[in-house]
A and B are shown apart, each in its own frame.
Chain A
C-alpha cells in the first residue's frame, strides 16, 4: 500500500481520487448487474443531466468551503434564479438570451449578499446562508405569484438553450461542465484569488497580518459561488424544464456531499476541483441508480446524508492522524 502511495503517477493524481474513480465504476457495474434497464446510453445521459446542474452547484460551494465557510442557500438560490428568469421569459416576454443572463445575475447577487455579510459584517456563514435560503424561496414565490414556471421545450421557438446539454445524442453539457471545472481549477490553484481563498481558509488572521485584504477575497469566494449557482439554474431548466417555487434545499446536501467526498475539507484551506467533479458524478449516478432500481427518492436522501457523515469523518480522521 505504502509503495502504491509513493508511485509518482498515483501521487500526482492523488490516492483518494483514484479510489473515488474506482467507486464510481464499481457503482455503475453493480447497478448494471442489478437492473438490465441500466445498461445503455439512456441512463447515462439521464444521470448526466442530473450531474450538470449539481456539478455547478458543487463547484461553486467548493470555493466557499475552501474559505472555511458554508453555503446552505445554493439549492434554493438556483431555483430562485430559474424562477425569476423563467418568469421574465414567459410572462414579460424578455428574450431568451437576456433571461439566461438574468439567471446568472440573480445567483451572483445572492453571492454578493452572502459574501458581504460574511466577510464585512462577520455574520457566521451558517446563519447568513440559512437566511438567504429563506429569502430566495420567498422572493421566488412572490415574483412568480407562487406559480411554477415552465421553460420552453426543445421544439419551441426559444428551445435553443436546451442544446447546452445535448445536441442529438452528443452530451454538450458534459463538455461545458468539464471546461468550467478546468477553469475553476485554474482559478483556485494558479491565480492570486485562489491562493488567497485557500490561504485564508487555513489561517485567516495570518493572511490578514500579511497585509492582504482578506475581506475582499473571502467575499469573492461567495460571489464566484453565486455566479456558478446562477449557471446551475440554466442547466437545471435545460434538463427538467419546469421549476416550482418553495423547493431546492435537497440539492444543498448533495452538492456539499459531492464536494467533501472529493477531498475538500469542511474546515477550509484544502480543496480539490477534480475531486468535486468525481464526487458529483457519484451522487448523480447514485440517484439514477436508486430510481432505476425502483426505490423512492427518500432513499437517496438517506444515502447522501450518510455520505456526508462518512466523508467529513474521513477528513477529520486524516487530519488527526497527521497531527
Chain B
C-alpha cells in the first residue's frame, strides 16, 4: 500500500427528512482495495455519489491527490480520474465492444469515425488487463461477465486513478468472479486506489485490504481485512452477531403429499426437459450458476413466458398454465429476483400493492373496500414485521427487504400455497436477510411449499430441505440436504452433459 490518494473528511449530507451522511470519513490509498460495507441504506451509495459529483455535500472536504476538489458531475470526476463501475451495466447492445468503450470520445478521421483505431486501442487496453475479448464483437453477444470486463476497460481508458466497483459480482458466475479478481489484483499492482462495494462477505475476505463499515449514514470504523473475522464485520454492520448455520436434515416428513409435479418442462433453450416434485411444507432449493435456466424454469411454470412442452400437476391434477392469471388461480405465487421491475408497483402504496393479486376479495359492490384493504395490509405489516410508517406509504420509499415483505404479503393475501422465491435476498442487507429466512421457514412450517432459487451457496445450504441443481437449461442433479455439500452442488452445477 502506498500513499493516500483520496481522503473524504467529515462528509455531511441531508435530504429532506433524512440525515443520509453524518460526518463520514473515508480514505483510499494507492495500491489498495478498500471495501465499503454496510446494510442497504447505510449510506454507501450516497457517499460515492457525493464523491463523483452526483450529489453536492453539505459540509466536509474531499482531498484527491493532495488537492481539495469538488466535482459537479460524473464527467468532471471522470476527467480527474475517479470512475465508477456500476452494478447495472450501461452498455449499448447493438454497438461493438470498442464503440462502447470509446463512446462520447470516438477517434475520428476527418468527420468519419475511425473504427480501426478504436479497435486497436481497445485491443491494447484488453492486453494490458489480460482480458480476452474481441473489440469488434457486438456487445449484446457477450456474457454479463465479459460486459463487465468491458466496463472496467472503459474505466481504465479514462486513466482512472480511483475505481469504484459497486457490487460488481452480483451478476457474475464463479469463474467470472475469479477473472474479475485477477483484474482487480492487477490494478492494485499498478498502484490504483480501488473501492469495492459488496454484500458478499467471502469476497471481501479474499480481495480487499481494508474494510470501512457504515451504518445508518454514519461512519462505524475501518479494519484491516487480514486482522478481522467475518463476524467482526457483520457485528459492525448490524451491531449484533448473526449465525449462519446450514440445515442438516430435511424438516419434511417422507410421506408429505406432492403439491407440484413438473414433467419434462421445455421452454426455449434455457429450459430443457426439467422434471421435479415439490412436497407440502418443503423448501426446495434451486441451485446453479448464473444462466443455468432456473429463473426461466420458474417463469415457465408460472406462465410468465410461453412453454414449448411439458406437463404440470397440482395436487395430482394435471393443469394448463398459460398465463400468470392461470398460475395464480392454481395458488402459485412468484417473487421475482427483480422486485422493482416485476414485483412491486413503486408509485402505489403498501396497501395497494398488498392486495394487487387478490383485489376481487376487497370489492364491495362497485367500489374497493379501502377499510378492509387497509386492515388486511396492516395485519400483514404486523405479522411480517414490515418497517413502514403506514400502509398508505408508497413502496418506493421502503428498503429492499421491506419491499420484499410487501411482495410476500401480496401472495399470502392471495392465499397461494406454492411460492417461488427467485433470489429472495438479492440486494437485501444482512439483518433483513435473516428476517426473510425466518419468514420462509415459518411459511414452510405452516404448510406452504417453497421453491427457492438462489445463487448464494450459504443460502441454499441454510434454507433447503432438498436441492435441485441446474446447468445450462437442464436439471443436472437432485440431492437431499442431509447429503449436500458445497462441493457436491458445485460439481453438479458445472457438470457437462454427454
Q: Which residues of A contact B (CB under 8 A)?
A: 186, 190-192, 195-196, 198-199, 202-203, 205-213, 269-270
- Chain A residue numbers with a CB within 8 Å of B286 are none
Within 8 A of A (CB), among B395-437: 410, 414
Contact in complex: A210, B410 (CB < 8 Å): yes
Q: B347 touching A208 by the CB < 8 A rule?
A: no
Give, as a whole number of angstroms, the nearest-CB distance from B373 to chain A: 10
The reply to whether the CB of B113 lies closer than 8 angstroms to some CB of chain A is no
* A211→B346 contact, CB < 8 A: no
Chain B residues, Cβ within 8 Å of A209: 302, 304, 324, 334, 336, 342-343
Chain B interfacial positions (CB closer than 8 Å to A): 302, 304, 324-325, 327-329, 334, 336, 341-348, 352, 356-357, 359-360, 363, 366-368, 370, 410, 414
Interface pair B348/A212, CB less than 8 Å apart: no
Sample of 20 further A-B pairs with CB below 8 A, known A191-B363, A202-B347, A211-B327: A190-B368, A191-B368, A192-B360, A196-B359, A199-B352, A202-B345, A203-B345, A205-B342, A206-B342, A206-B356, A207-B345, A207-B356, A209-B336, A209-B342, A209-B343, A211-B414, A212-B325, A212-B357, A269-B345, A270-B347
Chain A to chain B contacts (Cβ below 8 Å), 5 pairs: A199-B352, A209-B302, A209-B324, A211-B329, A213-B325
Least CB distance, A286 to chain B, in whole angstroms: 30
- Specify which chain A residues have a CB less than 8 angstroms from the CB of B344 in the assembled complex: 203, 206
Query: How distant is A225 from chain B, measured CB to nearest CB, in Å?
Result: 20
Is A199 a contact of B348 with CB atoms below 8 Å? yes
> Contacts A205-B341, A209-B324 hold; do A192 and B363 have CB atoms under 8 A apart?
yes
Closest A residue to B348 using CB positions: A199
Cα A90 to Cα B366 in complex, Å, equals 39
- Main secondary structure on A side of the interface with B: helix
Does the CB pair B341–A203 fall under 8 Å? yes
B357 contacts A211, C-beta separation under 8 Å = yes
> Which of A186, A190, A202, A205 contacts B348, CB < 8 Å?
A202
State how many angstroms separate the Cβ of A184 from the closest Cβ of chain B.
14
Q: Which residues of A contact B327 (CB under 8 A)?
A: 211
Q: Is A202 a contact of B328 with CB atoms below 8 Å? A: no
Task: List the B side residues contacting A202 at CB < 8 Å.
Answer: 345-348
Question: Which A residues are CB-close (under 8 A) to B359?
Answer: 192, 195-196, 212
- In the complex formed, the residue of A with least CB distance to B416 is A211
Distance between Cα atoms of A203 and B395 in the complex (Å): 13
Min Cβ gap A224→B in Å is 14
| Chain B residues whose CB sits within 8 angstroms of the CB of A211 once the complex forms | 324-325, 327-329, 357, 414
- Assess the A192–B410 pair: CB atoms within 8 A: no
What's the minimum C-beta distance from B159 to chain A, rounded to whole angstroms? 30
Q: Which residue of B lies closest to A187 (CB)?
A: B366
Q: How far is the CB of A147 from chain B (nearest CB, A)?
A: 43
Contacts of A190 in B (CB 8 A): 367-368, 370
